[in-house]
A and B are shown apart, each in its own frame.
Chain A
Amino acid sequence: MADTGRHLDAEGWRALQRKEPEAVAYFARHLAAPCDVCEEFLAAEQEEDALGLEALADEALGEAAGPAREDAVGWARLRRRLGAPRRAWLAGAVAAAVAAGLAVLVLPQVMRTETTPSQRIKGTVPLVLELAAMAKLPNGETPPVRDDTVLPPEAVVLLHYHSSEAADALLLREAPGLPTQVLGRYELEPGTNPLREGADLAGVSLEGEQGPVTLVLVAWPKGPGSREAVEQAAGQGAVPPDAVRARLHLRVDPGHAAP
């Protein structure tokens, strides 16, 4: 590579792919300054790119503009292509209307909780966790959902929780004969609130479901070890027997129009 006037061509490119020391040393120096001839060569797609140069460039060029706006439509379209069970997010006016509906849904008969003794530290008040829900139906109605409600697969279940204190939580889905699936991680605030992911209302789409489905909110009082407990349970894909949890049992029936 003694030719100091040499520019990138197919031969030089192959030498770089093989990381031949002379070629590497020469082009490291040569390409440090703008070179129209070499840039013209680099503008063309090369069949071999062991250095991963195309990806290095595309990644940097794609990041230069900073974070992109949230793309709810694109994600919703992609989500439909991914496997069931599917999550759903409502944003904007629809979310506001549904959240308003959920706010008046805090009725004892639709709240479910299961507390376990191991969560109770002696001398402290145990975490109280309750779960309520309503369904968003294709016709726009949003009826309350109680235990054992039958829903069509087109419904989206929107959850509302009551927590006696701040907690780290996991939402799981159980169905007979299927592994427990993690649907999401949440930070619960004290009081009664809709389950949210950022600005969106989090929900569970029943698309592709049939038969009994149980949604389980599992929580640990916020503090040392609570996030680790969430991650451990998520990793195991199981509802830990010692956690505070609230369950909602549903049945999905494709022939069912509305609760």
Chain B
Amino acid sequence: MTEEEVAVCIQRAARGEQDACRQLYQRFHGSVRRVAFGFSGLGPAEVEDVVQETFARAFRELPRLQHPRAFSRWLVTIARNHALALSRGERVRALAAEHLSREVEDIAPAVPPSLGVERRVAVVRALIEELPEGPEKETARLFYLEGELSAREIAERLGLGKSAVTMRLERFRARVKRELLARLLAAEVE
């Protein structure tokens, strides 16, 4: 689906057209599931709950979304907050609930051209490529490039504890965040 097709789908889905909702679900369920899969404390049923809750909420509140380009970022934000609420303690659950209540307004629609989604995906792939050969690279490759296994399943495959895999994934995600933040700030400076 092109960006334009996604935008049209979002407009139709906001009017309650279910074939549009179906197309959006099929286009984005992988990204939403990947967010939930990163939480090794969540079992398969809970991951599915995150996916379901995320899309149910998104479709319900779609008419409030003012910028179709922010749709995907909005979805993963909802997913992360749901996953956090399911997997963490009371304080984080309260924080996630607070985020859930205001996430529609909070997603900034404007992203500089240097941070378009294709450019960011290229950054992710390059960062994986740059990792030295070893378990760290293998974990990131299995989770983010093959995109089929959960953190739990990767732990089983590599014969590691769940926390070890989660730690590697969090470390890699932080590296991605650092690289993206640097580019975001550089765009501000320019």
Cβ contacts under 8 Å, A56 to chain B: 73, 111, 115, 120, 180, 184
Interface set, chain A 74-109, CB cutoff 8 A to B? 74-75, 77-79, 81-83, 86-87, 89
**How far does the alpha carbon of A35 sit from the alpha carbon of B59 in the complex, in Å?**
39
Contact of B147 among A35, A68, A89 (CB under 8 A): A68
Contact of B121 among A63, A68, A81, A184 (CB under 8 A): A63
**How far does the alpha carbon of A16 sit from the alpha carbon of B79 in the complex, in Å?**
25
Cβ contacts under 8 Å, B79 to chain A: 58
* Minimum C-beta distance from B145 to chain A (A): 6
Contact of A62 among B16, B35, B108, B182 (CB under 8 A): B35
- The answer on a CB contact under 8 Å between B108 and A81 is no
Interface size class of A (residues with CB under 8 A): 35 or more
When A32-B182, A79-B18 are in contact, do A60 and B121 touch as well, CB less than 8 Å? Answer: yes
> Among the listed stretches A44-52, A132-140, A149-157, which one makes contact with chain B, having 4 or more residues with CB under 8 Å of it?
A44-52
| Closest B residue to A237 using CB positions | B15
* Minimum C-beta distance from A88 to chain B (A): 10
Contact of A47 among B95, B106, B179 (CB under 8 A): B95
* Minimum C-beta distance from B81 to chain A (A): 10
Counting chain A CB atoms within 10 Å of each CB, the highest count among B52, B107, B176 belongs to: B176
Interface set, chain B 1-59, CB cutoff 8 A to A? 12, 15-19, 21-22, 25-27, 29-35, 48, 51-52, 55-56, 59
* Minimum C-beta distance from A217 to chain B (A): 14
State whether the Cβ of A59 lies closer than 8 Å to any Cβ in chain B.
Answer: yes
State whether the Cβ of A38 lies closer than 8 Å to any Cβ in chain B.
Answer: yes
Cβ contacts under 8 Å, B176 to chain A: 57, 60-61
Contact of A58 among B35, B106, B178, B184 (CB under 8 A): B35
| Closest B residue to A197 using CB positions | B19
- The answer on a CB contact under 8 Å between B59 and A27 is no
State whether the Cβ of A28 lies closer than 8 Å to any Cβ in chain B.
Answer: yes
* Minimum C-beta distance from A209 to chain B (A): 14
State whether the Cβ of A125 lies closer than 8 Å to any Cβ in chain B.
Answer: no
Contact of A63 among B15, B31, B180 (CB under 8 A): B31
- The answer on a CB contact under 8 Å between B173 and A61 is yes
- The answer on a CB contact under 8 Å between A61 and B16 is no
When A28-B186, A59-B120, A78-B55 are in contact, do A65 and B145 touch as well, CB less than 8 Å? Answer: yes
When A53-B177, A55-B76, A197-B19 are in contact, do A31 and B121 touch as well, CB less than 8 Å? Answer: no
State whether the Cβ of A234 lies closer than 8 Å to any Cβ in chain B.
Answer: yes
Cβ contacts under 8 Å, B120 to chain A: 56-57, 59-60, 63
Contact of B16 among A28, A31, A64, A83 (CB under 8 A): A83
Q: What are 7 sample pairs from A and B whose C-beta atoms fall under 8 A apart? A: A19-B188, A57-B173, A64-B125, A64-B147, A68-B31, A78-B25, A181-B16
Task: Show the binding face of B for A, using Cβ within 8 Å.
Answer: 12, 15-19, 21-22, 25-27, 29-35, 48, 51-52, 55-56, 59, 72-74, 76-77, 79-80, 84, 92, 95, 106-108, 111, 115, 117, 120-121, 123-125, 128, 144-148, 170-171, 173-182, 184-186, 188-189
